[in-house]
Every structure is written in structure tokens, then in C-alpha cells.
């Protein structure tokens, strides 16, 4: 009887040791695949977008190709604040974030300005420099530019 108990105990220990060593496999659930985070999330959310926007506006202010265009906005703190907020909302909403763009349409905002292709490219360059400053990865950078790029037809030559 005593021998039996010892054998049962030995078998139990062997079983626990065996199953304890077996590594749990972390197979993903095939029914509910992990959703890809939105561009908004991958950019780092509202604070990251606000920081990029501020750097972008600073770059525009020191860009002699286009800064004269923004002279009136820069001279008026309320107007500059509104432009900043509109840009943040536009990027936030466009990238799938929880914001609502409340500004004018791109056509309405830029009609009568006769913005050239060179000026458009300069502004995009200032945005790219801001994204690079914060080391936004190429994938996210290109995705954002892909959202803003098509607005060109409503901005250039209007």
C-alpha cells in the first residue's frame, strides 16, 4: 500500500513537471484578428498632431516662398489660433481621430488666392520637415500626405 502511494505521488509529480514545462502556445484567434490601429493612433493622438502642427506653422512662418501669404493670420492672434485649430482638427479627422473639422472647404478657403504649384510644394515641404522633426515613420508620413495630397486640385490655381 505504501509503495502504491509513493508510485502515485511520483506519477503526479512527473505529470505536473511535464505539463508545467509545456509552453502555452499564443496562437491568435483566427475569428477576431487584431485590428490595425488608425493613422490617428499611429501618429500618437491629438498631442502629437498638435506638436507637428505647431512645428509646421513655425516652418511656414520662416519659409520665404509662402510666409507672406500668412502675414494677416500671423498679425492677428485670434485668426492664427483659429487656423491652428482648424489644421489640427483637419489632420485629426482625416486620420480617423475623434475630431470634427469645422472650417471652410479647401476650395472655399483658398479661392481667390491664385496659389501656385510651387507654393503648394513649399507648404508640403514644410509639413514633411515637421513630420521628420518628430521622426514620424515613413509609412505614417506617406499615409498622411496621401490624405492631404488630393486637396491640391481645390487649392492650386483657384
Of 87 and 99, which CB lies nearer to ligand HEM in the complex structure?
Answer: 87
Return the range that interacts with ligand HEM (CB under 6 A); candidates 24-32, 33-41, 45-53, 102-110: 102-110
Distance CA 66, CA 59 (A): 10
Supply the DSSP string of the chain, one letter for each residue.
-HHHHHHHHHHHHHHHHHHHHSPPP-PPPSSSPPPPPPHHHHHTHHHHHHHHHHHHHHHHHT-TTTGGGGHHHHH-HHHHHHHHHHHHHHHHHHTT-S----S--HHHHHTTS-B-HHHHHHHHHHHHHHHHHTT--HHHHHHHHHHHGGGHHHHBT-
Residues of span 137-156 touching ligand HEM by CB under 6 A: 148, 151, 155
- The 50-69 contact track toward ligand HEM, x by CB under 6 A, reads ----------------x--x
Residues in the interface with ligand HEM (CB under 6 A) total 21
Selected binder of ligand HEM within 61, 70, 128, 129 (CB under 6 A): 70
Of 42 and 56, which CB lies nearer to ligand HEM in the complex structure?
Answer: 56
Question: Cell 520665404 maps to which residue?
Answer: 64
Asked if 120 interacts with ligand HEM (CB under 6 A), we say: yes
Return the range that interacts with ligand HEM (CB under 6 A); candidates 4-12, 19-27, 85-93, 128-136: 85-93
Question: Cell 514633411 maps to which residue?
Answer: 128
Residues that bind ligand HEM (CB under 6 A): 66, 69-70, 72-73, 79, 83, 86-87, 90, 103-104, 109-110, 115, 119-120, 123, 148, 151, 155
Amino acid at each position: 500500500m505504501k509503495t502504491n502511494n509513493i508510485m502515485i505521488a511520483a506519477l503526479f509529480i512527473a505529470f505536473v513537471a511535464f505539463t508545467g514545462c509545456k509552453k502555452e502556445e499564443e496562437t491568435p484567434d483566427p475569428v477576431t484578428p487584431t485590428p490595425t490601429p488608425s493613422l490617428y493612433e499611429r501618429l500618437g493622438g491629438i498631442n502629437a498632431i498638435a506638436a507637428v502642427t505647431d512645428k509646421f506653422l513655425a516652418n511656414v512662418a520662416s519659409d520665404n516662398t509662402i510666409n507672406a501669404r500668412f502675414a494677416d493670420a500671423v498679425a492677428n492672434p485670434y485668426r492664427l489660433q483659429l487656423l491652428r485649430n482648424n489644421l489640427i482638427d483637419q489632420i485629426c479627422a482625416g486620420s480617423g481621430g475623434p475630431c470634427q473639422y469645422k472650417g471652410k472647404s479647401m476650395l472655399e478657403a483658398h479661392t481667390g488666392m491664385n496659389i501656385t504649384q510651387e507654393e503648394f510644394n513649399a507648404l508640403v515641404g514644410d509639413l514633411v520637415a515637421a513630420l521628420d522633426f518628430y521622426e514620424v515613420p515613413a509609412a505614417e508620413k506617406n499615409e498622411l500626405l496621401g490624405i492631404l495630397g488630393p486637396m491640391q486640385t481645390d487649392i492650386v490655381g483657384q
